[in-house]
Amino acid sequence: MSRSIPLGIDFGTSNSTVGWSRPGHPALLPLEEGKVTLPSVVFFHAEDAHVSYGRAGLADYLAGHEGRLMRSLKSLLGTAMIDDHTEVAGRALPFRQLLAQFIGELKCRAESAAGQGCTQAVLGRPVFFVDDDARADRQAEATLAEIAHSVGLKDIAFQYEPIAAAFDYESRITGEELVLVVDIGGGTSDFALVRLGPGRAGKADRRSDILASGGVHIGGTDFDKYLSLATVMPWMGLGSRQLNGLEVPSAQYFNLATWHTINMAYTRKAWTHITDMARAAAEKDKLQRLQRLVSERAGHWLAMQAEAAKIALSDASSTVLDLGRVSPGEQLSITRDDLNAAIDHLVNSIGTTVMALLNDAGVAAAQVDTVFFTGGSSGVPLLRERIASLLGNPRAVEGDRFGSIGAGLALDAARQFGE
């Protein structure tokens, strides 16, 4: 590796990409088995201390290997948990070190694919790591910068993820457009209202073209969470009653429905709590399912079932979850109406954020030429319908749901650092 190249790094809640902008080549670099996405997953094997990443990590977990699965790592940024640790193979692993391990792997794979080293990068970031807390938001960015420096990235810049997606879209248009970028990622929903066009693309300073940006800490993992709480968790006792008539405590269900807190349900304290819940439950069969799920450490498996159902319901009116790992032969039918009811409050918050963005920019909804959708959860029908109704059905353009941000960050890296 003879020289350093500027990279665009999209460290995502669910998936990550790395881009290198050069004429005549695809921007995104292959990171795993020829694929340009690397799921943001780390699996620590218990038996031999081996660590696997991405699809390989998920496959090892699903194959039943003993170990610890960690997913939704980005969600730790901006929370008190980032300064905490988790237990892996009997030792304490700081969460900062966990993020450094994954980002270091991401950098290493990108360098291998490019055949060049990298010390310069533009990193994507949500418009807000943390809602309504500017200090915590600045600290989250500073933490990510410290982690990036620790893995060998010397020169770092940040770019809002929806702005990066706008740059990717701009590389393919032939005329001027006022574009609303709607980026629904795993952990956040981010928006940018940007004037784009071939004549603007070469400008070093694009600040005057960015009319407004905004976001809310709601993303695809929140859709998964509330679909699970509305459908799967009641099957294991959420909302049921105890023998004394009180409702079964809900804390462990929320832990199991939230990607980055699933492992909290596996502690000795949590198991004692669940055992007490089962002893006091009026519907003991439901709590026995919860006990089996936790004893087998199948929480991530169940979260994957909820995620798969959400994805299936983007195209179909109903789907079936196979719950055989917890209760042999059992299935659960879930409809799009179930999904819509579960996430309606989240979609309302997203819609409110979009309208506030337009209001801040002094732009009427009818003035928006194009809505550019990107992010893994941007295909949820209720979300699309709500955005269309708020804006009066402007032209909708489908971006690369998992690649637009990384490609745009690569363009920005070439502009900022030169290539």
* Closest CA relative to residue 89, chosen from 60, 63, 66: 66
pLDDT score recorded for residue 111: 97
* CATH 3.30.420.40 for the 4-175+400-417 domain, yes or no: yes
Positive or negative, the Cα torsion across 302, 325, 320, 254? Answer: negative
pLDDT score recorded for residue 87: 84
Q: What is the DSSP string of 250-293?
A: -HHHHHHHSGGGGGGGGSHHHHHHHHHHHHHBSSHHHHHHHHHH
Evaluate if residue 289 carries a pLDDT over 70. Answer: yes
Evaluate if residue 2 carries a pLDDT over 60. Answer: no
Per-residue pLDDT tens for 166-198? 999 999 999 999 999 999 999 999 999 999 999
Q: How confident is the model at residue 1 (pLDDT cuts 50, 70, 90)?
A: very low
d(CA 413, CA 56): 29
pLDDT score recorded for residue 419: 56
Evaluate if residue 204 carries a pLDDT over 80. Answer: no
Strand pairing category for 85-88 and 117-125: unpaired
Per-residue pLDDT tens for 305-353? 999 999 999 999 999 999 999 999 999 999 999 999 999 999 999 999 9
Per-residue pLDDT tens for 106-155? 999 999 999 999 999 999 999 999 988 999 999 999 999 999 999 999 99
Query: Which residues in the chain are classed under CATH 3.30.420.40?
Result: 4-175+400-417
Distances, alpha carbon 127 to alpha carbons 131, 166, 188, in Å: 9, 14, 9
